[in-house]
A and B are shown apart, each in its own frame.
Chain A
């Protein structure tokens, strides 16, 4: 059995996720509903208070016309409602991908070391600072990577790829233990 804990790996709390695609005007309208201006620079993450105490919503820049929203499941209805209202008159696409993705939290001693076994990006803090995000590859699986702390990442992957990603992380973690 795969020992996720030894890899410093836990499943992310149940989340809701949407992809927002549209022009700047849609991003501006959505930012107001989100609670903070949406990120406009490559790889930027914006956060705002959620409707649930002590939790935050995140907006991840993944492309010049693509932002992901990730929020705790309890905040889902509030966030979606606010977004749909704010965007009603603006051309856009807001698509629910809550179930498309699986989230993993990496927070062991050196998660960048784990990731760099098969992820080709420079994950040093200088090159990929806290609150930086991107879509990239984890060997043969596409992932979204969000650095949540100096030694903490959130990794999102397609549901059917999650077994592969977890299995590979566990394999690499065995090497760290050796």
Chain B
């Protein structure tokens, strides 16, 4: 222990002095108390240096005490995978054994090589990134960007997968109250008293907000005659006891979305030394609230003067919070620079705690009389009308130079003060982030010089300091009034309350901007945005270079960007811009408040959607069987489909060749259950399908199937599939696997919105049926002994016929259809019987050398027959004729979806791409799918390309490669030689018809 606890008060604060916690920062051991933050515990040791700035690597200490902290960003490390960067030390709750590291420094925080940037800073003006590294272009990726990223940046993310669990939750309530300070507590009490559902969330570990900063001593405020801390404890106890109230501490409301949906990030285990392995680390809440109460408080602004960023220079509110919550003194000799009355209270409390307050420097002619009087009565020295010309000290502030500022802008009476701490207060900015996210209109309050909520866009009410309300009693009363009103608006009952308060308080008002300096250019940098190292000079430069809009100035200078989003800097920048241009603040405009309010982990947003639960995995009925038989799966949408079944170390190529040959020579078994299925039932079923599909279904006999093509209204192929007529008024429509949902959607659309007079209804039956395809010359012999009551002969059950029967004891719809060109059947059984039916067929097939095959072989087998796959041969711009399917169109029909478009001149013009076959001269050469096709060889770039390869495989049964391609006027080019240009050289190909195998189609009808 190198650092004694010199800066801890002997008593007081809300920390538990009976529980000592050990921790390390940059390898150095320290100790703190339960209830400390990392920041307060370090400060108790006098450690202010906690980070290096983003661009200049300047030493930085704590500025604030809450979410607005821009400087003290640290990494907290639990193990190799649990390294959380960019945490604000002010929000890191201490636990025993905590390990934290500073960021953006090398080799150490105290000695940072990158600090050379600080001395080279004239080289890094605003717009640095836009002006530099323009040439040579290649160097950007290889040299400049890596170097810049290394030198300027925030913390490092962990490299291992996140081992933690994250939870999510939807919730509904009558009133959501954001912020549990005095306004939020009063609102929650009022809103919940009548029984309405109330959720109260606060980002801090303890509910209370600003009330937690009240001293327990007689200096502190009292509410309804009780000390504030007593009232707070009672209020929290009352709320906890109400079953209709959900209290969410450690929960940041970070996003306000449409229709009163708000996102909350709850930290569940971050504060624990040893979280239970079961416990989720964080929980994302999505709360739908009838009414929302925003009680998000206000954030103090720093003052902008040269050298305002040294370690030991803090917001006055931070010093007060550290003293009263944590029993920590920010320093020994404090100078307060303020343009705001509220900071006087801090000075008084520090003095009472034994800290030397060297002087109060007020930038205004005078403070309010009552705070001045209190300060003088306590023996404090106050200088008014001053500005700060500069500060000294590198790793800790050592002194400050002030001067008297005349109304003319002249400075006089320069004076230097020695100190180890400078407190700053430029007044408070209402926290309107969530209000603004909700698209509420902000209003500029000229008296307070801040933006406050104007017109709400949602059912929302703001209360307290976030609305510009000043004073504890007003805040409590307003919270109660708004809470009761919100409950009433939500349809429940609220109970109004009014409060009495006794306190010495100072107004939160101040003047945003930059402290006036003699001369046009201050001698040293005055920081506006601490996190992004933006100075008043940078802003001035941006304006000089012609950036008018504050949105442009923000992007050019990076003011208000990154994780901090300008919580402490936006108003000062605006004030400066407005003053420089001699316009009002609202004329200068306001940048957009974006979510999240503070950074949210990816884990929280991902929630349950990771690993095995990332997406539903849809298994087919043969899934377990396939796994037992060594399947390799393919993801098709959410389905797991068998891709191929390798044997004895086969690669995919060998397995697919074997599977294809088995189907051609004997019999194969294939799970086609994923095909979409829709029951189209009703008296107008045939009429409905006639209007949708290009085919004619009136002429389809009961017991027969037909291959159907569906185009969209634009005439392009949308889906295809076999459609079976089970009864006069009952069609069994199949779709592609991927098209199942969208075809049903399209059908419902036409039925509900265009043809609602039709008496026909749709039901998805995709999952009702398991579909087992038995394909190959031996298919009939395999099935015959299994089916009862059916004659499978070609005359009784020809190609495209169907029959009802039983497979063993399982009821079955048997369709004689083929996507292989072989004799084939598709057995439909209720899916709960699917696995058993599969195993029955498999057992029966053993005598015939039955081979299971997957999607890969299926693709080859159908390509050998020239059967198209929608989405592979077609791409959303192919008509049925382009795909060689015009034979399916019922020309006699007056109308069907797409018919009008197919009559457009461009659909009939020459030059359209048409489906053809391609043969390579070298039979072993398999073209690449997607390869382009050229009419003539040896073209120069840019070539004139006339088509592309859509499917390409090695065909084992043919002994050569085959390909399908869409080629301009392809059918007129059959016999021609075309060229496929590839990086390795041009491949000559011959155009053929699309059918490569069994061109007569005899095998289909065996």
Tell me if A117 and B767 are in contact (CB < 8 A): no
Can you name the residue of chain A whose Cβ is closest to the Cβ of B197? A124
Considering the chains assembled together, what is the distance between the CA atoms of A100 and B673 in angstroms?
12
Considering the chains assembled together, what is the distance between the CA atoms of A99 and B167 in angstroms?
32
Q: Which of B165, B172, B615, B617 contacts A175 (CB 8 A)?
A: B165
User: Is residue A13 within 8 Å, beta carbon to beta carbon, of the partner chain?
Assistant: no
Considering the chains assembled together, what is the distance between the CA atoms of A118 and B638 in angstroms?
19
Tell me if A139 and B761 are in contact (CB < 8 A): no
User: With contacts A97-B763, A97-B765, A161-B616 known, is A171 near B278, CB below 8 A?
Assistant: no
Q: Which of A91, A160, A167, A178 contacts B767 (CB 8 A)?
A: A160
Q: Which of A22, A23, A127, A163 contacts B617 (CB 8 A)?
A: A163
User: With contacts A163-B619, A164-B613 known, is A91 near B168, CB below 8 A?
Assistant: no
Tell me if A120 and B608 are in contact (CB < 8 A): no
Q: Which of A19, A159, A177 contacts B278 (CB 8 A)?
A: A177
Can you name the residue of chain B whose Cβ is closest to the Cβ of A14? B832
Considering the chains assembled together, what is the distance between the CA atoms of A37 and B796 in angstroms?
45
Q: How far is the CB of B149 from chain A (nearest CB, A)?
A: 36
Tell me if B768 and A99 are in contact (CB < 8 A): yes
User: Is residue B620 within 8 Å, beta carbon to beta carbon, of the partner chain?
Assistant: yes
Q: Which of A93, A174, A178 contacts B761 (CB 8 A)?
A: A93
Tell me if A178 and B278 are in contact (CB < 8 A): yes
User: Is residue A98 within 8 Å, beta carbon to beta carbon, of the partner chain?
Assistant: yes
What total of A-B pairs shows CB separation below 8 Å? 117
Tell me if B763 and A19 are in contact (CB < 8 A): yes
Q: Which of B615, B617, B759, B763 contacts A91 (CB 8 A)?
A: B759
Query: Which of the candidate stretches B381-389, B583-591, B679-687, B785-793 sits at the interface with the other chain?
Result: B679-687
User: Is residue B639 within 8 Å, beta carbon to beta carbon, of the partner chain?
Assistant: yes
Q: How far is the CB of B82 from chain A (nearest CB, A)?
A: 17
Considering the chains assembled together, what is the distance between the CA atoms of A161 and B617 in angstroms?
7
User: With contacts A21-B763, A96-B768, A178-B278 known, is A120 near B616, CB below 8 A?
Assistant: no
Considering the chains assembled together, what is the distance between the CA atoms of A92 and B172 in angstroms?
39
- B274-286 vs A: 1/0 string, CB under 8 Å? 0010111000001
User: Is residue B781 within 8 Å, beta carbon to beta carbon, of the partner chain?
Assistant: no
Kindly list chain A residues whose C-beta atoms are within 8 Å of the C-beta of B443: none
Tell me if A122 and B279 are in contact (CB < 8 A): no
Kindly list chain B residues whose C-beta atoms are within 8 Å of the C-beta of A131: none
Q: Which parts of B78-134 form the interface with A (CB within 8 Å)? A: none
Q: Which of B279, B286, B763, B830 contacts A99 (CB 8 A)?
A: B830
User: Is residue B618 within 8 Å, beta carbon to beta carbon, of the partner chain?
Assistant: yes
User: Is residue B370 within 8 Å, beta carbon to beta carbon, of the partner chain?
Assistant: no
Tell me if B767 and A171 are in contact (CB < 8 A): no
Q: Which parts of A98-138 form the interface with B (CB within 8 Å)? A: 98-101, 116-122, 124, 127
Tell me if B613 and A91 are in contact (CB < 8 A): no
Kindly list chain A residues whose C-beta atoms are within 8 Å of the C-beta of B767: 99-101, 158-160
Q: Which parts of A1-58 form the interface with B (CB within 8 Å)? A: 19, 21-23
Q: Which of A65, A92, A93, A168 contacts B679 (CB 8 A)?
A: A93
User: With contacts A93-B679, A159-B831, A160-B767 known, is A175 near B167, CB below 8 A?
Assistant: yes
Tell me if A97 and B768 are in contact (CB < 8 A): yes
Can you name the residue of chain A whose Cβ is closest to the Cβ of B277? A178
Tell me if B613 and A175 are in contact (CB < 8 A): no
Interface size on A, residues (CB 8 A): 43
Q: Which of A116, A127, A168, A171 contacts B170 (CB 8 A)?
A: A116
Q: How far is the CB of B514 from chain A (nearest CB, A)?
A: 48
Considering the chains assembled together, what is the distance between the CA atoms of A140 and B759 in angstroms?
32
Can you name the residue of chain A whose Cβ is closest to the Cβ of B770? A99
User: Is residue B171 within 8 Å, beta carbon to beta carbon, of the partner chain?
Assistant: yes
User: With contacts A93-B763, A99-B830 known, is A140 near B168, CB below 8 A?
Assistant: no
User: Is residue B859 within 8 Å, beta carbon to beta carbon, of the partner chain?
Assistant: no
Q: Which of B612, B679, B763, B832 contacts A167 (CB 8 A)?
A: B612
Tell me if A171 and B768 are in contact (CB < 8 A): no
Q: How far is the CB of B604 from chain A (nearest CB, A)?
A: 14
User: Is residue B647 within 8 Å, beta carbon to beta carbon, of the partner chain?
Assistant: no
User: Is residue B288 within 8 Å, beta carbon to beta carbon, of the partner chain?
Assistant: yes
Q: How far is the CB of A42 from chain B (nearest CB, A)?
A: 17
User: Is residue A172 within 8 Å, beta carbon to beta carbon, of the partner chain?
Assistant: yes
Tell me if B682 and A92 are in contact (CB < 8 A): yes
Tell me if B765 and A160 are in contact (CB < 8 A): no
User: With contacts A122-B288, A178-B280 known, is A100 near B768, CB below 8 A?
Assistant: yes
Considering the chains assembled together, what is the distance between the CA atoms of A120 and B887 in angstroms?
48
Tell me if A139 and B609 are in contact (CB < 8 A): yes
Tell me if A160 and B620 are in contact (CB < 8 A): yes
Q: How far is the CB of B962 from chain A (nearest CB, A)?
A: 33
Q: Which of B616, B769, B831 contacts A164 (CB 8 A)?
A: B616
Q: How far is the CB of A144 from chain B (nearest CB, A)?
A: 13
Considering the chains assembled together, what is the distance between the CA atoms of A111 and B277 in angstroms?
23
- B744-769 vs A: 1/0 string, CB under 8 Å? 00000000000000011111111111
- A137-178 vs B: 1/0 string, CB under 8 Å? 001110000000000000000111101110110011011011
Considering the chains assembled together, what is the distance between the CA atoms of A97 and B832 in angstroms?
11
Tell me if A99 and B831 are in contact (CB < 8 A): yes
Can you name the residue of chain A whose Cβ is closest to the Cβ of B261? A120
Considering the chains assembled together, what is the distance between the CA atoms of A175 and B269 in angstroms?
13
User: Is residue A95 within 8 Å, beta carbon to beta carbon, of the partner chain?
Assistant: yes
**Of listed A99, A141, A171, residue having the most chain B CB within 10 A:** A99
Tell me if A98 and B768 are in contact (CB < 8 A): yes
- B612-632 vs A: 1/0 string, CB under 8 Å? 110111111000000000000
Considering the chains assembled together, what is the distance between the CA atoms of A22 and B681 in angstroms?
10
Kindly list chain B residues whose C-beta atoms are within 8 Å of the C-beta of A172: 167, 608
Considering the chains assembled together, what is the distance between the CA atoms of A94 and B681 in angstroms?
8
Kindly list chain A residues whose C-beta atoms are within 8 Å of the C-beta of B288: 120, 122
Tell me if B763 and A95 are in contact (CB < 8 A): yes
User: With contacts A99-B832, A178-B276 known, is A118 near B682, CB below 8 A?
Assistant: no
Tell me if A160 and B615 are in contact (CB < 8 A): no
Tell me if B608 and A127 are in contact (CB < 8 A): no
Considering the chains assembled together, what is the distance between the CA atoms of A127 and B197 in angstroms?
12
User: With contacts A97-B768, A177-B278 known, is A124 near B616, CB below 8 A?
Assistant: no
Q: How far is the CB of B490 from chain A (nearest CB, A)?
A: 13
Considering the chains assembled together, what is the distance between the CA atoms of A175 and B167 in angstroms?
8
Considering the chains assembled together, what is the distance between the CA atoms of A67 and B10 in angstroms?
73
Considering the chains assembled together, what is the distance between the CA atoms of A21 and B779 in angstroms?
38
**Of listed A101, A159, A160, A164, residue having the most chain B CB within 10 A:** A160
Q: How far is the CB of B831 from chain A (nearest CB, A)?
A: 4
Kindly list chain A residues whose C-beta atoms are within 8 Å of the C-beta of B769: 99
User: Is residue B742 within 8 Å, beta carbon to beta carbon, of the partner chain?
Assistant: no
Considering the chains assembled together, what is the distance between the CA atoms of A93 and B679 in angstroms?
9
Can you name the residue of chain A whose Cβ is closest to the Cβ of B766? A100
**Of listed B288, B617, B768, residue having the most chain A CB within 10 A:** B768
User: With contacts A95-B763, A163-B617, A164-B613 known, is A124 near B639, CB below 8 A?
Assistant: no
User: With contacts A91-B683, A100-B768 known, is A119 near B170, CB below 8 A?
Assistant: yes
Considering the chains assembled together, what is the distance between the CA atoms of A140 and B620 in angstroms?
18
- B214-255 vs A: 1/0 string, CB under 8 Å? 000000000000000000000000000000000000000000
Q: Which parts of A65-107 form the interface with B (CB within 8 Å)? A: 65, 91-101
Considering the chains assembled together, what is the distance between the CA atoms of A151 and B171 in angstroms?
17
Q: Which parts of B268-314 form the interface with A (CB within 8 Å)? A: 276, 278-280, 286, 288
Tell me if B172 and A118 are in contact (CB < 8 A): no
Q: How far is the CB of B666 from chain A (nearest CB, A)?
A: 30
Q: How far is the CB of B768 from chain A (nearest CB, A)?
A: 4
Kindly list chain B residues whose C-beta atoms are within 8 Å of the C-beta of A91: 682-683, 759
17 A-B residue pairs with Cβ-Cβ distance under 8 Å, sorted by A, are: A91-B682, A93-B761, A95-B679, A95-B763, A98-B768, A98-B830, A99-B832, A117-B169, A117-B170, A160-B619, A160-B767, A163-B616, A172-B608, A175-B165, A175-B278, A175-B280, A178-B278
The chain B residues found within 8 Å of chain A, CB to CB, are 165, 167-172, 197, 276, 278-280, 286, 288, 608-609, 612-613, 615-620, 638-639, 679, 681-683, 759-769, 830-833
Interchain residue pairs A-B with the least CB separation, the first 7:
A93-B681, A21-B761, A160-B618, A164-B616, A93-B761, A178-B278, A122-B172
Known: A101-B767, A116-B170. 5 other contacts (CB 8 A): A65-B761, A100-B767, A160-B639, A171-B165, A171-B613
